[in-house]
Structure 1
Amino acid sequence: MQYQGISYEEAKAIREKNIAHSIPAMYKEPIMITQGFMQWVWDQTGKRYLDMYGGIVTVSVGHCHPKVTAAAIDQLQKLWHVTNIYLHPKLHEYAEKLTNRLPGDLKVCFFCNSGSEANDLAMMLARIYTGAFDIISLRNAYLGNSPYTTSLCGLGSWKHSFPNGFGVHHAMNPDPYAGIWGGSNCRDSPIQTDRECNCGVGKCQACDKYISELENLLSSSVPNKVAGMFAESIQGVGGTVQYPKGYLKKAQEIIKSHGGVFISDEVQTGFGRTGEFWGFQSHAVTPDIVSLAKGIGNGFPLAAVITRHEISDCLNHALKFNTYGGNPVACAIGSAVLDVIDEDKLMENCRHVGNHLLHSLSKLRKKYEIVGDVRGKGLMIGVEMVTDKESRKPLSKSAMDTIFEDTKNYGLLLGLGGHHKNVFRIKPPMCITRADADFCVEVLEQAISDFMKK
């Protein structure tokens, strides 16, 4: 379909004049995306790009997926909005369908609109339910950018100079590649780091050392009772960092012994992306509270917090309301997304194509000195770029920008993550094929090769 709308130049002028400059455009020469279908997007000239970033890990089942689009149109023609103080079919149908995907007593939904909002609410629930205030997060974590969730954020590049962080304490990040401890036997990934370690089967020394650091934090910096601990199953914005095997399970046990609850942020790792429906399944934990967003609505504003009745009931003593939470259109879309994950066998596709992509990318690590690490699970993948493998020093911003710009020019859209923005984030719509994965690797290698020749 030929694009008919404002010109590229008009869009740039409007952005300069009317869009906050704190929201940067991707790339030195930004692209204007005018259309999308499944794993592909097009710009105003008709050039096609393979989207391996999925609108920042948000387009889960595919741009404009026909079934999801049809569900949205059908609901728009019936009822747009009445808020959740009324009974309306889609809210209740979807709440049951969604909670049936959660284990145990995780059966109570709070619907909202974004991951930051979901984690705001999860913080409130943890504090009111336990009667404690202090919360543990991890360094390098990103759990939202609202004034409340900024305190959970363990990335200084996301923090402004206003009071934040009250009652939030950041534990050492258990990173087997860039952290103090860890190596080639530590993480739940088809591709391990190239650092040597002495960990054996079923016994991870790195895990024990990072857990010891968590225990030191709890004994030195907080009261005996804490409200809880937040953790992503795999860190997203922080650069697809995976923890040593067993870390989250042991951390949950320790937090529970201090009276706290464990909150799993599934904003990026949920809905099949890792090859399992929930990222926490890989860690053998059952959270007390789960926060959901992004892929839950395939790009439509939708988020949720799911917990047990005894935790949710703590909010009954004062009013708590969300005008758009449980919106009929959002619930119709969320329900269709769940159906498509099953019908299109997207979890299986994440395992199959993801493993193929990880192994293909690992060949670049062996071939190029600046490719330091390849990691991830399913279609949540990171490629960490370094100046050299021995020092693991982050590749410079100018170098990353050069490679990043070239991948776009070759028709591939990636993301950037990590504290130093030296990790290529590969988190595409879950419908990609092996051929798409091969194209991604070919383009990334070409861009790296071009840079090395300069």
Structure 2
Amino acid sequence: MAVQIGRSMNNSRSLLMQVRCVPWRCMSALPQMPPCDFKPDTYTGISYERAQEVRKAHLNPALFTFYKKPVMIHQGHMQYLYDTEGHRYLDLFAGIVTISVGHCHPKVVEATHKQLNKLWHTTNIYLHPTIHEYAEKLAGKLPGDLKVVYFTNSGSESNDLALHMARLYTGVYDSVSLRNAYHGASPYLMGLTALSTWRYNTPTGFGIHQSMCPDVYRGPWGGSHCRDSLGQTDRPCSCAEGQCEAKDKYLEQLMDTFRFSMPKDKLGAFFIESIQGVGGTVQFPKGFVKDAFDLVRSKGGVCISDEVQCGFGRLGTHYWGFESHGVVPDIVTMAKGMGNGFPIGAVVTTPEIAKVMGNALHFNTFGGNPLSCAVGSSVIDVIDEEHIQEKANRVGIYFIKQLLQLKDEYDIVGDVRGKGLMLGMEMVTDKKSKEPMSGPAIAEIWENTKNMGLLLGKGGFFGNVFRIKPPMCITEEDVDFSVAVIRKAFNDYLNKVQ
């Protein structure tokens, strides 16, 4: 297995980690996590062994855990997690892209306590201040006529409602999503989610069709200038300035879906993630989303942007992922980072589309409750006051540059992509074949990074993409530690297989 050895890290912060960039046949010192003054509480709860027994006997058997010996998390502080044995971990997965401003951020905790002591819940058949204050604040963050907010409890519930709303508004049942997309795992949404690993053998997805995923790395088209990212594919690109042949070819595939799978010249909704999350941080060719929206609207359809993972500044350059594509959707769905881990979601749309939900009674018992609205409002305040979006951009640029250096060094790193703090690194057997790295090989590297104090996500259809979506409060020092750990895990793996 060939390994490309690149330039050494030229960074003063490397002294902090006590590690050098060395050829993979040499062993580097164990990377040192940046210091932190926070002291976790001593854990006194259920034992690890008893928790395993309870999980097996009483919890959903479909729940899966990461790692051979799952981590039992006891406490969180900003970008760090602590297990029941007192070990500290740098969290690069943020509870599946959910912790936005940091675990137990003090301002969010304070807002939660304040509301807890005042009013936990009252149904929205009564007025309460928090939902009105938060709805106005949230709507103020969205462009154009996106001003009507429906509060939900999760991203799946938001996408359920958005699909229902689009069908009522257009009067057309048939809708489209992209292959490799993830929009939730409820029975209603399994048709939108186009990953077989998340679908059960039950009737689902009536009236939902999938078009080819415009993946410029694994798809048939795409080259070295396609993405809005510092990370580009190695495939050559012959496109003229301002043009993208790959975009045009993928758009033709979308048009074919309309031609052969939809009622003639009719479309309900088109769902799209700004960057595919569970699918492995897949980015589309520049201009694809804008032209796809134009095409959808020409068929009478509505455009729905799933911002559950990309929203609230995570992409750095923009507050919403769809803004990075130069579009304004008809409906936006959101959750996850919206509540920094608290269960809250929303659908935001235009007054015209919102009217269709008045044709029958519609109600959500917990959606927009005082507690969730207080949390969500404080998250927006923290993003603004602490310049979280700008930090995601700055640290994200620094991070992807370091990951691209790893790509230069190692033939097992096939692709690095993403924006801000939504990054992905695709692992392969070698760059030339692009054959996905096997599950056991990925697991070995992954387990090693955990043992060194780094928690990474995994994704992609083949499970071979390391998903890097940390709390947006991480620092450049955290990035240096992360890269040193990943480099050492690569070296350990390659030393073993040779």
Q: Structure 2 CA distance, aligned partners of 1:3 and 1:101?
A: 40
1:109-148 deviation per Cα after TM superposition (whole angstroms, max 9, x unaligned) = 0000000000000000110000001101000000011010
Deviation at 1:21, TM superposition (A): 2.0
Partner of 2:366: 324
In structure 2, the residue corresponding to 1:306 is in which secondary structure? strand
Q: Is the 1:131–1:227 Cα contact (8 Å) retained in structure 2?
A: yes
Partner of 1:111: 151
Amino acid at match of 1:142: Y
Matches within 5 A, 1:438-449: 438-449=480-491
Partner of 1:379: 421
In structure 2, the residue corresponding to 1:151 is in which secondary structure? coil
1:230 aligns with 2:284: no
Partner of 2:95: 55
Deviation at 1:198, TM superposition (A): 1.2
- Report the TM-score when normalising by structure 1: 0.99
Partner of 1:403: 445
1:246 aligns with 2:246: no
Matches within 5 A, 1:145-156: 145-156=185-196
Partner of 2:63: 23
Q: Structure 1 CA distance, aligned partners of 2:401 and 2:156?
A: 33
Q: Structure 1 CA distance, aligned partners of 2:341 and 2:325?
A: 27
Q: Greater shift after overlay, 105-114 or 385-394?
A: 385-394
Matches within 5 A, 1:312-351: 312-351=354-393
Q: Structure 2 CA distance, aligned partners of 1:394 and 1:22?
A: 25
Matches within 5 A, 1:258-277: 258-275=299-316, 276-277=318-319
Structure 1: tracts of 5 or more residues without a match: none
- Report the TM-score when normalising by structure 2: 0.91
Deviation at 1:196, TM superposition (A): 1.0
1:395-428 deviation per Cα after TM superposition (whole angstroms, max 9, x unaligned) = 0000111111111000000100000110000000
Q: Structure 1 CA distance, aligned partners of 2:51 and 2:444?
A: 24
Among 137, 141, 149, the alignment partner of 1:101 is 141
Amino acid at match of 2:73: I
Q: Structure 2 CA distance, aligned partners of 1:91 and 1:365?
A: 47
1:151-190 deviation per Cα after TM superposition (whole angstroms, max 9, x unaligned) = 1011011000000121111000000111110010001001
Partner of 2:30: none
Larger C-alpha radius of gyration, 1 or 2?
Answer: 2
1:171 aligns with 2:211: yes
Amino acid at match of 2:375: I
Deviation at 1:221, TM superposition (A): 1.0
Q: Structure 2 CA distance, aligned partners of 1:199 and 1:377?
A: 22
1:246-275 deviation per Cα after TM superposition (whole angstroms, max 9, x unaligned) = 000000000001000000000000000001
Amino acid at match of 1:268: Q
Q: Structure 2 CA distance, aligned partners of 1:273 and 1:200?
A: 31
Q: Greater shift after overlay, 79-88 or 61-70?
A: 79-88
Aligned-CA RMSD value: 0.7
Among 343, 346, 354, the alignment partner of 2:396 is 354
Matches within 5 A, 1:212-223: 212-223=252-263
Q: Is the 1:186–1:199 Cα contact (8 Å) retained in structure 2?
A: no
Structure 2: tracts of 5 or more residues without a match: 1-40
Q: Is the 1:371–1:386 Cα contact (8 Å) retained in structure 2?
A: yes
Q: Structure 2 CA distance, aligned partners of 1:200 and 1:190?
A: 19
Among 335, 339, 362, the alignment partner of 1:297 is 339
1:430 aligns with 2:435: no
Deviation at 1:199, TM superposition (A): 2.0
Q: Structure 2 CA distance, aligned partners of 1:27 and 1:200?
A: 46
Q: Structure 2 CA distance, aligned partners of 1:84 and 1:301?
A: 17
Amino-acid identity (%): 57
Amino acid at match of 2:454: L
Partner of 1:211: 251
Partner of 1:367: 409
Amino acid at match of 1:361: L
Q: Greater shift after overlay, 266-275 or 220-229?
A: 220-229
In structure 2, the residue corresponding to 1:150 is in which secondary structure? coil
1:71 aligns with 2:119: no
Amino acid at match of 1:259: G
